[in-house]
Amino acid sequence: MTDALNLTNHFLIAMPTLKDANFFHSVTLICEHNEEGTIGILINRPLDIGLGEILNQMDIENDDSDVKQQHVYLGGPVQNERGFIIHKPHGDEEETLIISDNLAVSSSREMLISIVANKGPEKTLVALGYAGWTAGQLEKELAENAWISTPASEDIIFDTPDAERWKAAAASAGVDLSRLSSDVGHA
């Protein structure tokens, strides 16, 4: 795969015409993109549960109300029972995929324990599930104009309100989604 086609550390932004309920108005952080396929985590689908509920289910004690109330996101339609933590690279944790110099994704219990003990990364996004594409599938969908891609931004992941991430990610690619129609027409 050439560097030009590698979308690792990019956002995949759903076009308004993409009606698939799993991805409608979504922003996906691409964690890995290679000749075998693509894995990403949606960053703008908060669930109605806080991190405290997940910690309770995993028997991880936590008294920090901010940690308990941290949003948990729907990371995608695949393996919704599996958790992922997007964060800045931090230490030498197992089960960590380095996305870039500034972003990593972990799926380890030890990372959650570090977060609860205030020894983990300062900013995190916890998600259940992930999105996956088989080899060539994402490239086909990009050619069909289902998606916009642009380099990922830590500010959008960690500091932009959930409801604003779709438009903010598109704006970072130079696209004003309010000017695009979701209607498909023929001349």
Provide the pLDDT for residue 1. 44
CATH fit for domain 3-178, picks 3.40.50.150, 3.90.1150.10, 3.40.1740.10, 3.30.950.10 = 3.40.1740.10
Residue 15 CA neighbour count, 13 Å, CB half: 16
Here the tokens at position 64 are 């920090």
Look at residue 156 and tell me whether its pLDDT is greater than 90: yes
Contact 78, 96 (CB under 8 A): no
Among 42-51, 64-73, 146-155, 167-176, the least confident range: 64-73
Provide the pLDDT for residue 14. 95
- The pTM for the full model equals 0.89
Here the tokens at position 19 are 């009606």
**pLDDT digits 0-9 by tens, 91-116:** 766 678 899 989 999 988 888 888 88
**CA–CA distance, 176 with 153 (Å, rounded to integer):** 17
Provide the pLDDT for residue 171. 94
**CA–CA distance, 70 with 29 (Å, rounded to integer):** 19
Q: How confident is the model at residue 181 (pLDDT cuts 50, 70, 90)?
A: low
Q: 105 has which bridge partners?
A: 86, 97
Contacts of 86 (CB under 8 A, 6+ apart): 29, 41, 43, 103, 104, 105, 124, 125, 126, 127, 157
**pLDDT digits 0-9 by tens, 23-70:** 999 999 999 999 999 999 999 999 999 888 888 888 888 776 777 788
Q: Mean pLDDT, the chain, as a whole number?
A: 87
Q: How confident is the model at residue 187 (pLDDT cuts 50, 70, 90)?
A: very low
Please write down the HEC assignment for all residues of the chain: CCHHHCCCCEEEEECCCCCCCCCCCCEEEEEEEECCEEEEEECCCEEEEEHHHHHHHCCCCCCCHHHHHCEEEECCCEEEEEEEEEECCCCCCCCEEECCCCCEEECCHHHHHHHHCCCCCCCEEEEEEEEEEECCHHHHHHHCCCEEEEECCHHHHHCCCHHHHHHHHHHHCCCCHHHCCCCCCCC
Look at residue 135 and tell me whether its pLDDT is greater than 70: yes
Provide the pLDDT for residue 41. 97
